[in-house]
Amino acid sequence: MKIGIDALWYYDGYSSLNRVTFNFVNSLLEQDTVNDYVIFLDKRFQHVRFTYVNKRIETRYVKTGSLRYNFFLKLVIFPYFTFRDKIDMLITQYYPSPFSRGTSVSFVYDVLFETYPGLFTKREKFQLWPQRILTRFADLVITISESEKQRLLHYGYTGKADNITVFHLAPDSRFKPLTTYNHAFLNNVREKFSLPSKYILYVGLLSGRKNLDNLLLALPDIDHSVPLVIAGNQHPSYASNHMNIIAEKLLNKRVFFTGFVDDDELSIIYAHAYLFCFPSLAEGFGLPPLEALACGVPVVASNRTSIPEICGDAAVYFDPERPDDIAEKINLILADQKLYEQKKAEALRQAKKFNWGESATRLLSFLNKHKRG
């Protein structure tokens, strides 16, 4: 079987999409020793050597252009290649095409905007709404959590549960416990970002859906000896209120912003944290808390959508719409050393349940089971 993969975010794009695409493609190519592949990549990176090219794996470089051209690309250009290159199965992200040769597979990260429209901008909803129509033309659907699988079924993106599979994401191998890091590099990162000796960490976009405002509203009622470190960028489409809350609640000396952090440094910031808090209102998966767990850091998190599915018994959960509950649950784990050590041990066990290779193996079994002919 020859499989085509839309990998336009393999080298670039929003950090989460880039990371997922990179690991999704790599894990499939590393696990599959039977099928042939055509990997569609952004033409801007044609000069970069693609690691996996061999007699079974080919690349096609396409011009991405604007949002409208991307839509055209997925619906028209990719299908053209399925006929030209005799591709038997095409995996596209977001928009599947009804015009492809062979089996059409739609990779849908989430459809949270259906349940929580107020958490998305008009532009985001405009970009996402075609999924509702086009996914129904797909023969198969891939999503990233059981929570999103049920949402896809509920909103009628497909009528057959057997045609949807879950491809769980996983933490990168660089996310590991503090004791495993090079001491000199560890000290350099501590000094570069002026990290406190003990802190609560938040990692993610500073957007409405991530609910940082309620974490900040909870902070005055959290143990004053423990500051909050925020590693994330402002979402370009949202007017955030977090700086006003910091000023109103006099939190300037308790909140530290790291600014941009590359993945190697971010792994240190995770591992050095005493506690990780993830107050998000809605997630298709929730990779940051899983990365924290992989570093052996206890997690206190929202009890919404996919987050309990991913964190399991390793996290302590709160109602993200109640700052008082956020404060109560954080104080609980800060004050109870026995509970803290228990969650620290459970963190590593939970993180080991998620592995890119194992997810790829399960996906390949699903794809081979549903191939035509």
Reported as a single tens digit per residue, the pLDDT across 191-204 is 999 999 999 999 98
Half-sphere exposure of 168 (CA within 13 A, CB side): 20
Instruction: Name the 3-class secondary structure at 92.
Output: strand
pLDDT band, very low/low/confident/very high, at 90 (cuts 50, 70, 90): very high
Does the pLDDT at position 239 exceed 60? no
| Predicted local distance difference test score (pLDDT) of residue 279 | 97
Asked if residue 175 lies in contact with residue 276, where contact means CB atoms within 8 angstroms, the answer is no
156 pLDDT more than 60: yes
Is the pLDDT reported for residue 122 higher than 90?
A: no
Average confidence score pLDDT of the chain: 92
User: Closest Cα partner for 100 from 123, 126, 74?
Assistant: 74
Is residue 146 predicted with pLDDT exceeding 90? yes
Q: Is residue 211 a contact partner of residue 205, using CB atoms and an 8 Å limit?
A: no
Band of pLDDT at residue 365, cut at 50, 70 and 90: very high
pLDDT at 119: 87
The Cα–Cα gap between 249 and 107 comes to 43
Q: Which residue has the higher pLDDT, 256 or 13?
A: 256
- The reply to whether 178-351 shares the fold of 2-170+355-370 is yes
Q: Average pLDDT of 33-58?
A: 93
In angstroms, the CA 257 to CA 276 distance is 15
Q: How far is CA 95 from CA 142, 161, 330, 336, in A?
A: 12, 19, 40, 48
pLDDT at 237: 52
Residue 341 has pLDDT above 60, yes or no: yes
Q: Please count the CA atoms within 13 angstroms of the CA of 50 that sit on its side-chain side.
A: 26
Is pLDDT larger for residue 13 or for residue 275? 275
Q: How far apart are CA 246 and CA 234, in angstroms?
A: 15
User: CB within 8 A of 124, min separation 6: which ones?
Assistant: 113, 237
Structure confidence at residue 54 as a pLDDT band (50, 70, 90): confident
Q: Which of 52-61, 323-332, 356-365 has the lowest mean pLDDT?
A: 52-61
Domain boundaries along the sequence of the chain: 2-170+355-370, 178-351
**pLDDT confidence of residue 188:** 94
Nearest-angstrom CA–CA distance, 131 and 129: 5
Tokens, residue 354:
């998620």
108 close to 145: Cβ distance less than 8 angstroms: no
Q: Which two tokens stand for residue 105?
A: 């597979």
Q: Are the beta carbons of 108 and 157 closer than 8 angstroms? A: yes
Residue 159: CB atoms within 10 Å: 8
Using a pLDDT cut of 70, give the percent of the chain over it: 97
Confidence of residue 236 (pLDDT cuts 50, 70, 90): low
- pLDDT value of residue 129: 85
- The CATH number of 2-170+355-370 is 3.40.50.2000
Which pLDDT band holds residue 262 (cuts at 50, 70, 90)?
confident
Q: What are phi and psi of 234, to 5 degrees?
A: -65, 130
The yes-or-no verdict on residue 232 having pLDDT over 90 is no
Does residue 276 carry a pLDDT above 80? yes
Q: Which fold has domain 178-351?
A: Rossmann fold (3.40.50)
Q: Of 39-53, 160-174, 225-239, which range is least confident?
A: 225-239
